[in-house]
A and B are shown apart, each in its own frame.
Chain A
């Protein structure tokens, strides 16, 4: 009887749709997204660590129709080379908001649809942008360090920070995350202006058609846009110069939105006022010059690391996969524009 049960179970497992995992450790995925493993079967290059990824794909992934990948600094790049090894691929499910690690043009050309995390992270990421800004302006981490080092009784009051109300906030990218950031900062008495690819007719905030003009008119720039060819190094020398000595940069998007070398130089020379950074060009490496600075707050790409975001992502990933396998519309397809 037990044998029969086991056979049934194996049979059932065999019936589960097959999904490729790229750049994601299956055991770590199972830890955070256990339900996925009761609904789908997974193959992953992690199973055969001696083989190169391309080799694995050629030998074991020729009939794969859908893959899950992650985003961020250490993501596997889903480029032509990889796509060439996956002739049956129809859908890429990225468990990230950013899709800069995926060649969208190539995907579109091959008729492959891409989904991402949609808006499930937006609140947590917006909260993170706010806290990085508050930390830089009110010197929270710096004064916490000061206090923990025992200096309060010896050196007295810590240096003064900056008032939040009345400051001019410039948001680059007024999508889901940018809108949540704007809504929160208005309650602190900040004024909002933005730059994005196109002016949004339904939005009443002042629009600037380029980042330099926005920087000229802002006390802080908050980067909430996707990384694309156009937005690569959108924060460059000119923009930083326009932002000025008191200006602050907050980045919760992608490290490569900023010319990091130039940013570091400006911070070290005191040419801008401070920065709050959750992302870097070469994660997990962070320019060591920043460690000397008290007006910089650095976090390890952790804006989405909450149980709520993970849980929402879990549900969304399952929903997208189920929709794919039953030929229904995907829940969070990425627009190719």
Chain B
């Protein structure tokens, strides 16, 4: 049987690449995208993208034989789902396997930001400890945590924060009957009533810039924002001016509007923790995600039920 052409848009760990190549004809864009598409478009029946780069409207138009988009992510904002639906293209993603990693990272960002760990590590490495003691940081245990989006990841974050005796509150489109946490029907009230605001919802038209100037002001100079969702959830310009002007206690960011580039102002700030979209970056989870992506592709091409379909 003719090997099935799969176009991979994102980087892959070694395991993923090896396993994928065992079963499919794997290709990646060359430097000349136009030429690449001329030669290969007709043989590409599947696309693999991730949370940063996905099957856009343009790309889908250029791949007439495309049958399935298997995303190596749980976020779907980079895929033109409407177009996929119209053309009958299947879409799968990787929920659940990365929930714990992302929740762990949210707590890690809260702790490293509040307790100034990266700054402390810099303090030691630069020899400053010999000149004097470090300064006070902010205690985490017992602080109020407000979560935007109480899906699987938001719930996992809440469970961990509870172990630190943090009172939990949340905002989501509708109140969750089984959640034991305080619900706020809008993000502004949530921000006014918590000290640590965590963004954990999916990105769509309603949630773009869900953290805006008003929300930042409501959180105030002793407040912290942690973002493990998507850069576009926060009005990045407002965030930068708040940080530069000292109107926020600090932020911990895993995501940015224009990855892998980040706003210049962040480099000069000590009260921010910046990590390069590492939410699911553990060897264990990457293996599980790879297996799930490959499993979905295999299921599709064998006419079996998809493992984790979106469409």
Q: Which residues of A contact B (CB under 8 A)?
A: 123-124, 126-128, 130-132, 134-135, 138-141, 143-148, 152-153, 156-158, 160-165, 183-184, 186-189, 283-286, 291, 297-302, 305-310
Rounded to whole angstroms, the CA-CA distance of A134 and B260 in the bound complex is 23
Enumerate chain A residues within 8 angstroms of B163, measured Cβ to Cβ: 183-184, 186-188
Asked if B129 and A158 make an inter-chain contact with CB atoms under 8 angstroms apart, the answer reads no
Interface centre among B123, B139, B273, B285 (most CB of A within 10 A): B139
What are 28 A-B contacts with C-beta separation under 8 Å? A123-B141, A124-B139, A127-B139, A127-B141, A128-B115, A131-B108, A132-B117, A134-B111, A135-B117, A139-B278, A140-B108, A140-B118, A141-B117, A141-B118, A144-B112, A145-B118, A153-B261, A157-B281, A160-B13, A160-B283, A165-B104, A286-B129, A298-B124, A299-B117, A299-B121, A299-B134, A300-B120, A306-B115
Enumerate chain B residues within 8 angstroms of A143, measured Cβ to Cβ: 275-276, 278
B235: interface (CB < 8 Å): no
Enumerate chain A residues within 8 angstroms of B159, measured Cβ to Cβ: 187
Number of A-B contacts (CB under 8 A): 166
Rounded to whole angstroms, the CA-CA distance of A236 and B260 in the bound complex is 42
Rounded to whole angstroms, the CA-CA distance of A141 and B281 in the bound complex is 14
Rounded to whole angstroms, the CA-CA distance of A147 and B261 in the bound complex is 9
Rounded to whole angstroms, the CA-CA distance of A140 and B276 in the bound complex is 9
Rounded to whole angstroms, the CA-CA distance of A25 and B162 in the bound complex is 39
Rounded to whole angstroms, the CA-CA distance of A68 and B141 in the bound complex is 28
Enumerate chain B residues within 8 angstroms of A299, measured Cβ to Cβ: 117, 120-121, 123-124, 134
| Contact residues, B143-175 vs A (CB, 8 A) | 159-160, 162-165
Asked if B275 and A144 make an inter-chain contact with CB atoms under 8 angstroms apart, the answer reads yes
B138: interface (CB < 8 Å): yes
A187-B159, A297-B117 known, 14 other contacts, Cβ within 8 Å: A127-B164, A135-B117, A140-B118, A141-B118, A147-B262, A158-B276, A161-B281, A161-B282, A163-B283, A183-B163, A187-B160, A284-B130, A299-B124, A305-B136
Rounded to whole angstroms, the CA-CA distance of A128 and B114 in the bound complex is 11
B53: interface (CB < 8 Å): no
- Asked, given contacts A184-B164, A188-B104, A308-B139, whether A158 binds B281 with beta carbons under 8 Å apart, the answer is yes
Asked if A134 and B281 make an inter-chain contact with CB atoms under 8 angstroms apart, the answer reads no
Asked if A152 and B105 make an inter-chain contact with CB atoms under 8 angstroms apart, the answer reads no
Asked if A164 and B109 make an inter-chain contact with CB atoms under 8 angstroms apart, the answer reads no
Enumerate chain A residues within 8 angstroms of B125, measured Cβ to Cβ: 291, 298
Asked if B140 and A163 make an inter-chain contact with CB atoms under 8 angstroms apart, the answer reads no
Rounded to whole angstroms, the CA-CA distance of A183 and B164 in the bound complex is 8
Asked if B278 and A138 make an inter-chain contact with CB atoms under 8 angstroms apart, the answer reads yes
Rounded to whole angstroms, the CA-CA distance of A310 and B165 in the bound complex is 19
Asked if B112 and A131 make an inter-chain contact with CB atoms under 8 angstroms apart, the answer reads yes
Enumerate chain B residues within 8 angstroms of A301, measured Cβ to Cβ: 133
Hey, what's the 0/1 contact readout for B226-258 against A, CB within 8 Å counting as 1?
Answer: 000000000000000000000000000000000
Enumerate chain B residues within 8 angstroms of A284, measured Cβ to Cβ: 129-130
Rounded to whole angstroms, the CA-CA distance of A157 and B51 in the bound complex is 13
| Contact residue among A131, A147, A298 (Cβ-Cβ distance under 8 Å from B115) | A131
Enumerate chain B residues within 8 angstroms of A164, measured Cβ to Cβ: 100-101, 104
Rounded to whole angstroms, the CA-CA distance of A30 and B267 in the bound complex is 36
Enumerate chain A residues within 8 angstroms of B137, measured Cβ to Cβ: 302, 305-306
Interface centre among A123, A148, A163 (most CB of B within 10 A): A163
Minimum C-beta distance from B139 to chain A (A): 4
Enumerate chain B residues within 8 angstroms of A160, measured Cβ to Cβ: 13, 281-283, 286
Minimum C-beta distance from A32 to chain B (A): 9
Rounded to whole angstroms, the CA-CA distance of A299 and B120 in the bound complex is 5
Asked if B111 and A131 make an inter-chain contact with CB atoms under 8 angstroms apart, the answer reads yes
- Please name the 5 residue pairs, one residue from A and one from B, whose CB atoms are nearest each other, closest first: A187-B163, A131-B111, A134-B108, A152-B260, A163-B284
| Contact residue among A134, A184, A188, A306 (Cβ-Cβ distance under 8 Å from B138) | A306
Minimum C-beta distance from A31 to chain B (A): 12
Asked if A134 and B107 make an inter-chain contact with CB atoms under 8 angstroms apart, the answer reads yes
B38: interface (CB < 8 Å): no
Rounded to whole angstroms, the CA-CA distance of A134 and B112 in the bound complex is 9
Rounded to whole angstroms, the CA-CA distance of A177 and B286 in the bound complex is 34
Minimum C-beta distance from B130 to chain A (A): 5
Rounded to whole angstroms, the CA-CA distance of A161 and B286 in the bound complex is 10
Asked if A157 and B136 make an inter-chain contact with CB atoms under 8 angstroms apart, the answer reads no
Enumerate chain A residues within 8 angstroms of B130, measured Cβ to Cβ: 284-285
Asked if A306 and B261 make an inter-chain contact with CB atoms under 8 angstroms apart, the answer reads no
